[in-house]
Structure 1
């Protein structure tokens, strides 16, 4: 970009990269030569500011890209500490794909009377993505993932909340012969980079990742996204606007409030609702909230004494699917 600006007669500008996983000495040498723009991760930038390798005395602009993602990764304290290194008045630009309460509170502390620009609606399900929700017991998830891989051609992204789940999915698919890579925060930078590049270059058909580890990544040609876990916040659901298929697993651990919000999003996007979501709208529609005795009955089977997330009939459907897959010998890895 800077070379193109120079070709157009604009002043030449130097940019420096400030990220973890790279020896700090190499980056320090580059910065001492003088730079105009720093592209940085919060942790490494905060470290270099503290060590006085960089100073922001003449810096006037601060851009926070993927702000929601950085907060999810626990960088709020580092970002706030960076603010104190600005000596002059600055202009701050904050970009976020979602606007949950956490990012709203942060924005109030980081911005002064900001101009807000909304593109689309945060948390809305994409019209380009076919959304499929499946009720799957926790013990059946791995087998169901294998079956779901057969729905589309590669590439497939699988998201899980926990690092241990990413490892379990990766090892299971590897045993089944699937060309798979995995990334999460517990892996070192070189391993994460190798996994990302293998997937990007089509050397691997499937990438398993924690949502945190995948923040800011963009891949072309994704056909299918599998959410191994239902996001805790509806704002984090369905961020992509590209065409494709999204499969999300839910079970009795899923929050009722999130399921109700999800139903509304799917209705707005014109998506077909699964049977177990059609009756879900709140107490007025006969759904007992968590912690009650479910006197009004289950939205799926109309039975008393349980909620939809504990429905034995709904769970039975998932069991039959798993058993059918086992009888069918689904050991070929799907691809």
Structure 2
């Protein structure tokens, strides 16, 4: 595959043996699977990023790469197909944005884009909120990047005027960030041409598949050339994802981490045993325990709206966030919450996935999530020092509570005694291989299954 960025690591990294590379990965808790995997590089300067790029990163308060970025950025800059298994706070957005920016600059210097040309890079995400978050990051980074030609980016999502998006596309665009629905509309109306596409990113790819966007993604691929870099990011690795990688990606590298970033979080876990009838009263009590902003998670849209009505009647400034809301209301809820106009945001897992609220110091699980992966995603929505309050009823699955206890123990926290007692009642079972005694995040069979071949596993 052609390396569109023309980047290559310094000689001292290229000459490292596989054993030396593995030791560096072990140091940072990185797992990498694939052929000819480049070395971890521990600084942006050592990655040979120009000074202007490093200054732009500092403007975004990014001074040094996170562990996953130290492996992921070299892989992405080399033009390799990659599948990034990542929870929040591990910096996956920068991993796929850097090659998009560098490739766009090089192409613009070589032959400037004219009308109706592009995009060179396409990022597909499952929600408008996540699309806007990535668009904002790219816009701010490019604004701070001095001394390079202007790079055009376009946000293509539903809920806002398509005409404005069409005008941007008609001027020529380097990078498009889009949701599947709006992208399908543009393709069906021949308003976007993907023949020049060289880098395709599917962010939150597991959720794209969960929401049934398989066909939309395949339609996009049918409009592109074969010689294209594909980068997938996902918080989980279902078999459908592995099949997709096997069918559409060329010698991909799979990378993941051993939760090095989540272990740095200072989490206080509070578990309250409640009845269904007593949850609302307990919610009011919990909201009084910390300063706002506070993020509340519930199971579905109906309960989400009911909680908003309940809190609003009690003069608590709040908003709800779920997929059934109009886009303008969802955007307003996020904006008002980030600016402090409202104190409480009530969200479903689907609506909040991929979003970050760094000022939040209290996360309340009004309903427990379906599994420990979803719990981790919720925890990572807030600040690095966060209280997590979970309401537990007698209907909750003991196996999940046991997983929760094991997770908290793994990252160095404490759990209430009654949950610790549950651990002895339920035997561990891996959700992937069904073998008892370990969980899927430590399953060696899962790591090997990622390859679907006999490539060596590198750590």
Calculate the TM-score normalised by the size of structure 2. Answer: 0.57
Summarize the Cα distance change of 1:111–1:264 in structure 2 as closer, same or farther, 3 Å threshold: farther
Q: CA deviation at 1:204?
A: 0.6
Summarize the Cα distance change of 1:100–1:16 in structure 2 as closer, same or farther, 3 Å threshold: same
- Is 1:173 aligned to 2:311, yes or no? yes
- Is the 1:60–1:88 Cα contact (8 Å) retained in structure 2? no
Select the residue among 331, 336, 351 that pairs with 1:193. Answer: 331
Runs ≥4 in structure 1, deviation > 6 angstroms? 122-126
Summarize the Cα distance change of 1:231–1:99 in structure 2 as closer, same or farther, 3 Å threshold: farther
Written as runs of structure 1 = structure 2, the 5 A alignment for 1:59-208 is: 59-99=197-237, 103-104=241-242, 106-121=244-259, 127-208=265-346
- Is the 1:125–1:238 Cα contact (8 Å) retained in structure 2? no
For 1:52 and 1:32, the matched residues in 2 are separated by 12
- Is 1:258 aligned to 2:400, yes or no? yes
For 1:167 and 1:248, the matched residues in 2 are separated by 19
Query: 2:127 corresponds to which residue?
Result: none
Summarize the Cα distance change of 1:259–1:214 in structure 2 as closer, same or farther, 3 Å threshold: same
Query: 1:329 corresponds to which residue?
Result: none
SS at match of 1:165: helix
Summarize the Cα distance change of 1:126–1:108 in structure 2 as closer, same or farther, 3 Å threshold: farther
SS at match of 1:158: strand
For 2:240 and 2:255, the matched residues in 1 are separated by 18
For 2:260 and 2:210, the matched residues in 1 are separated by 16
Summarize the Cα distance change of 1:266–1:212 in structure 2 as closer, same or farther, 3 Å threshold: same
Written as runs of structure 1 = structure 2, the 5 A alignment for 1:321-332 is: none
Residue by residue, what CA displacement relative to the aligned partner does 1:195-221 show, whole Å, maximum 9, x if unpaired?
111111111111111111122322231
Select the residue among 232, 235, 243 that pairs with 2:373. Answer: 235
Summarize the Cα distance change of 1:286–1:199 in structure 2 as closer, same or farther, 3 Å threshold: closer
Query: 1:27 corresponds to which residue?
Result: 165
Written as runs of structure 1 = structure 2, the 5 A alignment for 1:173-322 is: 173-239=311-377, 240=380, 242-281=384-423, 285-287=424-426
Query: 2:43 corresponds to which residue?
Result: none
Structure 1 gap segments, 5+ residues each: 290-335
Summarize the Cα distance change of 1:150–1:72 in structure 2 as closer, same or farther, 3 Å threshold: farther
Q: CA deviation at 1:12?
A: 2.6
SS at match of 1:45: helix
Q: CA deviation at 1:225?
A: 0.5
For 1:246 and 1:110, the matched residues in 2 are separated by 40
Query: 2:187 corresponds to which residue?
Result: 49
Residue by residue, what CA displacement relative to the aligned partner does 1:230-283 show, whole Å, maximum 9, x if unpaired?
1112211123162111112222332333222212101112222222211223xx
- Is the 2:263–2:412 Cα contact (8 Å) retained in structure 1? no
SS at match of 2:254: coil
- Is the 1:128–1:243 Cα contact (8 Å) retained in structure 2? yes
For 1:131 and 1:72, the matched residues in 2 are separated by 29
Q: CA deviation at 1:81?
A: 2.6
Summarize the Cα distance change of 1:113–1:121 in structure 2 as closer, same or farther, 3 Å threshold: farther
Calculate the TM-score normalised by the size of structure 1. Answer: 0.77
For 1:99 and 1:226, the matched residues in 2 are separated by 27
Which deviates more from structure 2 when the two are superposed, residues 31-40 or residues 82-91? 82-91
SS at match of 2:351: coil
RMSD, aligned CA: 2.5
Length, aligned pairs only: 284
For 2:280 and 2:248, the matched residues in 1 are separated by 42
Query: 1:300 corresponds to which residue?
Result: none
Summarize the Cα distance change of 1:38–1:116 in structure 2 as closer, same or farther, 3 Å threshold: same
Q: CA deviation at 1:101?
A: 5.5
Query: 1:316 corresponds to which residue?
Result: none
Q: CA deviation at 1:162?
A: 0.3
